[in-house]
Structure 1
Amino acid sequence: MKLTVLELIIMGLAVFRLTHLIVFDKITEFIRSPFFNEITEADENGLEEVYLVPKEGGIRGFIGELLSCYWCTGMWMAFFCYAGFIFYPAVFQPFLAIMAVAGIGAILESAIQNWKSQ
């Protein structure tokens, strides 16, 4: 199936937002937590920083490694979105549109925050 340029842009923005949602956003922390160990370290100023390290071995370790890699998760999200678009277009077209609009919002918010901080 051939994608139009508009469909490709919408899918790209949707994959970006969905990947960010799964890998970074606080709201999906409950999905990531079974696959990571928290390590707390003090920096040179005495402030504690918490690092998430993928669990070792087994399926939890594998999924932890996957979720710690933005690029890896993005590939799986792209596969998921494309397959859904092809096999369940009535469900995925609105879903992808919503995710794409959210992706545009996230990009604009990041740009504004970056601009304000300079």
Structure 2
Amino acid sequence: MLASFSGLFLLILILASFRLTHLLVYDDITAPLRRLFVTTTIVTLDHGQQAVQHEVAPKGLKRWLGMLFTCHWCMGVWSSLILTLLWLFVPYAIWLLVILAVAGAAAIIETIMLRL
């Protein structure tokens, strides 16, 4: 299986991991899942600007998961690991990776287009 690892697959894995990470950490559709581990509030700062404040559980597995769901760097490592293991051990998992990769590429293109 590793013999078939290529630059194209690496790109697919990168984009799929990016999309899965963003889905878990930021997207509204996964907010109910995040709420199991994180309390999020919007606070107004002294100069009127608003900021998002995350509060995670004080200890245990809920704390660890809360920290994970509030850190895109941390979630990115775990997303990459999970997707790589899926590719290695689950038949047809490549289709999930391709779908996430296409969605990730579309998100990047949309972000670029909005800034132009």
TM-score range, shorter chain: 0.7 to 0.9
Q: In the alignment, what sits opposite 1:16?
A: 18
Alignment-mate amino acid for residue 28 of structure 2: K
Closer, same or farther: CA 94–69 of 1 in aligned 2, 3 Å: same
The answer for unaligned runs of 5 or more in structure 2 is none
Q: 2:28 aligns with which of 26, 29, 45?
A: 26
Provide TM-score, normalisation by structure 2: 0.88
Alignment-mate amino acid for residue 104 of structure 2: G
Structure 1 consecutive aligned stretches of length 4 or more whose deviation exceeds 6 Å: none
| Identical-residue share of aligned pairs (%) | 33
Give the count of matched residue pairs: 114
Please, what is the CA RMSD of the aligned residues?
1.6
1:12-69 Cα distance to aligned partner (Å, 9 max, x none):
1000000000000000001100111234422335576542222221211111011111
Q: In the alignment, what sits opposite 1:73?
A: 75
Does 2:103 match 1:86?
A: no
Alignment-mate amino acid for residue 113 of structure 1: L
The answer for unaligned runs of 5 or more in structure 1 is none
1:42-61 correspondence to structure 2 within 5 Å: 42-44=44-46, 46=48, 49-61=51-63
